[in-house]
Structure 1
């Protein structure tokens, strides 16, 4: 019976008096937001240095800094009041993100920013700082590793007279046929290759074949923008 009364008193204080906000330490708030800001800027720097995509987005990178600070602010807010924490769960449950994430690594950075914000808001500064340092160094190390085997798409447009010679040249390569388009005046082939150390000398041999109208080599990451 006494436990129920104590629990009822906690709920009443949370609802009516917001007792938790009277004991808020502004120094803790400042330290939490400062820690979140520093980690957010570290994420910003790592993302810029480790980015290997096609188009770098400054605004997208800045969002990681703000996401870390906002998450820390939310954690500090809901930790002071049980009613606000329950209300925040309900509010966040209706949030939907409509932006499509094209690179799986971007999801890693999002979770990193959220985790760092949670740790900073919960005053777990050593975990936030040390964990972010290890994650950042790991991402930086992985991004600097040289990929020796890279996939490419080779697009060849040739006439019917060059078919046999083109096949002979392709047999020398480790290729996989992706598509073939046959028209009245030409045939277009799209093949996937894996090249080591950007060795593209074979492209000159293909273009010198009589009947080959065009040969293009495109770096292929496996993703298509839609």
Structure 2
């Protein structure tokens, strides 16, 4: 039994190397349909990423790569599925590829895997899996992003003189905050507070800035990527 299996594998390997008959039976309609589905799924990922983006700077070029990544992955799967030699060669080629671009947000990595997964399913002609799976992931992303919007973290930076210490404490006592840092210098004191706001009511910033002895007040949306 083992000898027969070995012979069958050798015959299949020789057929893949010498004849490449699979390429003669390529259906161009299937290729066009596969690329069209991959393009549609890539646009869907593009829309979800733009809709749910909560980072500091939105990059259009980075978002476009999800569309192209889905199509290219589908194209690769279509190619290697026709020949075992190409499959082995593609694995070796991809193993030496190194991407040097740093991904700052871990959520961006999820979008990359999503694009690759949709491309693999599309290239394998598993269209229901690709479409239903992408729809489920997209709905999950939207639902999770809306829950995050309800309460966003902010950094409140207050720079004030020594005479305004008691007044500033009286104002910030009304806020639900965590002290991140406190810098004391000869001329002023700088406080960095972490707040979580559920709405856009930022009237307290103007109230703090009107306090006598307060030099400046800054409210920054904090995503964990930077801090001042």
Residues 7-26 of structure 1: CA distance to partner in whole angstroms, max 9, x if unpaired? Answer: 22111111222232223222
Q: Is the 8 A contact 2:160 2:213 kept in 1?
A: yes
Please give the alpha-carbon distance, in whole angstroms, between the structure 2 residues aligned to 1:217 and 1:173: 13
**Count of residue pairs the alignment pairs up:** 225
| Deviation for aligned residue 1:38 | 1.6
* Contiguous gaps of at least 5 residues in structure 2: none
| 1:27/1:171 CA distance change after superposition, 3 Å | same
Please give the alpha-carbon distance, in whole angstroms, between the structure 2 residues aligned to 1:109 and 1:101: 11
- 210, 217, 225: which is aligned to 2:212? 210
State the partner residue of 2:203: 201
| 1:65/1:224 CA distance change after superposition, 3 Å | same
Scaled by the length of structure 2, the TM-score of the pair is 0.89
Matched, 1:140 2:118: no
State the partner residue of 2:68: 66
Residues 115-170 of structure 1: CA distance to partner in whole angstroms, max 9, x if unpaired? Answer: 11101111111111222222223323433457333222111111112222222322
Scaled by the length of structure 1, the TM-score of the pair is 0.89
Report SS of the residue matched to 1:7.
helix
| Deviation for aligned residue 1:206 | 2.2
| Greater Cα offset, 73-82 or 175-184 | 175-184
State the partner residue of 1:4: 6
| Deviation for aligned residue 1:197 | 1.9
Considering only aligned residues, what root-mean-square deviation do their CA atoms show, in Å?
2.0
* Contiguous gaps of at least 5 residues in structure 1: none
State the partner residue of 2:108: 106
Please give the alpha-carbon distance, in whole angstroms, between the structure 1 residues aligned to 2:53 and 2:193: 27
